[in-house]
Amino acid sequence: MRAMTEANLKAAFAGESQAHMRYLIFADRAEKDGKSNVARLFRAIAFAEQIHATKHYRTLGQVKDTAPNLQVAIEGETYEVEEMYPAYKAVAELEGEKGAVQATDWALQAEKTHAQLYKKAKGSVERGADLELRAVYICDVCGHTMFGSRPDKCPVCNAGGEHYRQF
């Protein structure tokens, strides 16, 4: 693939990915505001943006078999844990941005677990097996990730157990 086309597809992937997330966030707000049809519209178009992003990513040749995809995920999560979030948190602390300090710290805590999980999954896949996985719970306030049963309180943000979503 020629350089300019590749750069354009990467930029389009980033833009579509951000639009997908932005519209899901807007849908949640519309739902909270009692505008269920607007929420549905945001979710529908978010899905269309996901389709566009997926096509761009595949065209770039970035979707491989499961083991190499897991390696990409491990590398991304490890970067976030070791470099990105510590640096972002440090800047937020320096600038006195309490909300950003909290957001980056909460993300950092969750990303540590995500990296470990992807490593465990990759080990299973490399042995020719699927991952043994119990119920997964995600805190909808901070992203804390855990298994087994829903906790009474999040150990990261102290949100009540009702804030955990099961997967």
Mean pLDDT of the chain: 97
Q: How is residue 162 annotated by DSSP? A: G
For the chain, give every residue range classified as CATH 2.20.28: 134-167
At position 70, the amino acid (one-letter code) is: L
CATH H-level, domain 64-127: superfamily? Ferritin, core subunit, four-helix bundle (1.20.1260.10)
Q: Give the chain's end-to-end CA distance (angstroms, integer).
A: 38
Distance CA 136, CA 154 (A): 14
Q: How far apart are CA 112 and CA 32, in angstroms?
A: 31
Q: Tell me what percent of the residues of the chain surpass a pLDDT of 70.
A: 100
pTM: 0.90
Would you say 110 and 143 are in contact if contact means Cβ atoms under 8 Å apart?
yes
**pLDDT for residue 132:** 93
The 10s digit of each residue's pLDDT in 34-90 is 999 999 999 999 999 999 999 999 999 999 999 999 999 999 999 999 999 999 999
Pick the CATH number of 3-59 from 1.20.1260.10, 1.10.3720.10, 2.60.120.580, 3.30.565.10: 1.20.1260.10
Could you please state the CATH topology (level 3) that the domain comprising 134-167 is classified under.
Rubrerythrin, domain 2 (2.20.28)
